[in-house]
Amino acid sequence: MTASTAATSVSVAPDGIEYAIPSAAKARADLERIVAAAEAFGGSVVVVQGLGFVGAAVCGALAASGRHLVVGVDLPRPESYWKVAKLGSGSVFGSPDPELAAAIAEGVAAGRLFTTTLDEAYALADVIVVDVDLGLDGRAEVALEPFERAIRAAGAHMRDDALLIVETTVPPGTCRTIVLPALEEERRRRGIESAPLLANAYERVMPGAHYLASVRAYPRSYAGLDPVSARGARQFLESFVDAPLRELPDLESAELGKLLENSYRAANIAFIHEWTRLAESIGVDLWSVVDSIRARVGTHDNIRNPGVGVGGYCLTKDSFLAQWGAERLLGSDVRLETTLAALEINALMPLHTFEHARVLAGGELRGRRIALCGVAYLPDVADTRNSPTELLWRELRAAGAEVRVHDPQVVRWAEQPEAIVEQDLARALAGVDGVVLAVRHSGYREVDAERLAELVGAPGWVVDAQNMLGDEDAQRLHAAGWRVSGVGKGHWRAAGYGASA
């Protein structure tokens, strides 16, 4: 997109490309093109609200099904317009999955995938899929207002017989007590008295190498406000999901399902953390223990690995959404003690890796040059939201260290814009005192003892928080004058690798 469209401002994508936000006249002209395409298509039109990590992948999966004309809507703000521009021109940011890139490129080229910033697009929809964010406002509140505004925008334009499906993860009670009245009110303003068709079908998409497949191949649960809504949701899901579908009895069950499954994952990670500390204190290699337990497939293979901590948008907030909705929207007095304690443990977990670094640095980090490898919250993705590396970075700097950050996926660290994220590993590691391997990116696979020693130049120290170095690497580094430790690597500690040889 060029700036020739009387732009009011610019939206910069995480890859540094700038997109001019189009004028209202240009946006309207584009929408007319979409309306004409929808009329010519003649089949089902799906409008996806929110083109973030979930919405972009859902657009790709819907377009690839060949059964729908898909229109993605996001806001004309500097922080979000680039998503409209990228997807609308057939590309996607931050996906290592070639299948998703191909689905989006082909969808746009075939005239089956469009994007816009205009809410009038909702009037085209047979199905509106809500994929907007709904997060916390500080640490104690849920930011419902922007979510409700998004629902109202759809309600203000949707056809009377359109089905609105909430995929956004919401506090229990949200669909019935927030979404339904908002839709009813907006529709009534336009003289529509009939109850809206409304369903919840939470997404399970997993960004990464199998991003597109995760939309199509994971089983899905859903529930409708009424039998007609539930049937509509099932038909819609069947049109692009190639996995078992399960209807739950009511909207609250579907809302709770998503929150419970994410809380289960978060609690499992918190649980393994105290065993990590125990294993380190008694000289046990927890990685190999966990691996041996996983052999018991069916009941034990979901046990988590040790690590730096938990990041991302979902596992860091969803347990809180559950508690908040239960109390505030549904009047429950049940306190999710274990679940919320796990959230707290996970939030502080990066301090354990920090402690490894502090010990290896001889108790003093002031003035030390440290390479922090990995900012994304997951291997091989560019998503840095709530990355555990952030707390580690802040603590290292607060202790006076000079921290270089490296990530092969991340060009700009949106949450810490003052941090310069180095792309070149050799430049990041040259001459540092210490290295922290924080994320298991495939780009770090080349880092063995020999490569590390070569890139750093002189013996220093390394904390391996992700089981990236083998026992032989640790032993060789230590013999060469390095101090080495690893999260969950009690046997390295017992072997004295944390001290100078």
Ligand X SMILES: NC(=O)c1ccc[n+]([C@@H]2O[C@H](COP(=O)([O-])OP(=O)(O)OC[C@H]3O[C@@H](n4cnc5c(N)ncnc54)[C@H](O)[C@@H]3O)[C@@H](O)[C@H]2O)c1
Tell me if 8 sits within 8 A of 21, measured CB to CB. yes
460: three-class secondary structure by DSSP: coil
Smallest distance from ligand X to CB 354, Å: 26
Helix (H) / strand (E) containing 12: strand 10-12
Smallest distance from ligand X to CB 80, Å: 3
Smallest distance from ligand X to CB 437, Å: 24
100/115 Cα distance (integer angstroms)? 16
Residues that bind ligand X (CB under 6 A): 49-55, 73-75, 80, 83, 131-134, 146, 149-150, 153, 168-169, 203-205, 207, 313-314
Smallest distance from ligand X to CB 132, Å: 4
Residue 265 or 369 with smaller CB distance to ligand X: 265
DSSP 123: G
Residue 73 or 436 with smaller CB distance to ligand X: 73
Residue 83 or 483 with smaller CB distance to ligand X: 83
DSSP 306: P
Residue 84 or 373 with smaller CB distance to ligand X: 84
Smallest distance from ligand X to CB 322, Å: 12
For strands 402-406 and 136-137, give the pairing.
unpaired
Residue 346 or 353 with smaller CB distance to ligand X: 346
60/83 Cα distance (integer angstroms)? 13
Measure the CA angle with vertex 53, ends 48 and 58; round to 5°.
Answer: 40
Describe the crossing of helices 251-282 and 318-328 by its angle, rounded to 10 degrees.
140
Smallest distance from ligand X to CB 130, Å: 9
351/419 Cα distance (integer angstroms)? 19
71/30 Cα distance (integer angstroms)? 12
Smallest distance from ligand X to CB 203, Å: 4
Which amino acid is present at 423? Q
Residue 74 or 247 with smaller CB distance to ligand X: 74
Strands (E) located in 33-124: 44-49, 68-73, 113-116
* CA-wise closest residue to 449 among 474, 427, 466: 474
Smallest distance from ligand X to CB 361, Å: 35
Which residue number is nearest to ligand X in terms of Cβ? Answer: 52
237/235 Cα distance (integer angstroms)? 6
Residue 142 or 469 with smaller CB distance to ligand X: 142
Dihedral in degrees, nearest 10, Cα atoms 289, 295, 299, 301:
70
Smallest distance from ligand X to CB 3, Å: 21
Which amino acid is present at 277? R
Residue 313 or 444 with smaller CB distance to ligand X: 313
Query: Residue 114 phi/psi, 5° resolution?
Result: -130, 165
Enumerate the β-bridge partners of residue 164. Answer: 128, 198
Smallest distance from ligand X to CB 1, Å: 17
Residue 90 or 146 with smaller CB distance to ligand X: 146
* CA-wise closest residue to 255 among 197, 315, 318: 318
* CA-wise closest residue to 266 among 145, 168, 169, 137: 169
Residue 86 or 234 with smaller CB distance to ligand X: 86
Smallest distance from ligand X to CB 416, Å: 17
Residue 205 or 361 with smaller CB distance to ligand X: 205
* CA-wise closest residue to 85 among 188, 12, 139: 12
Dig out the tokens for 298 from the structure. Answer: 């069916």
Smallest distance from ligand X to CB 76, Å: 10
Q: Taking the CB of residue 355, how many other CB atoms lie within 10 A of it?
A: 15
300/68 Cα distance (integer angstroms)? 40
Residue 122 or 497 with smaller CB distance to ligand X: 122
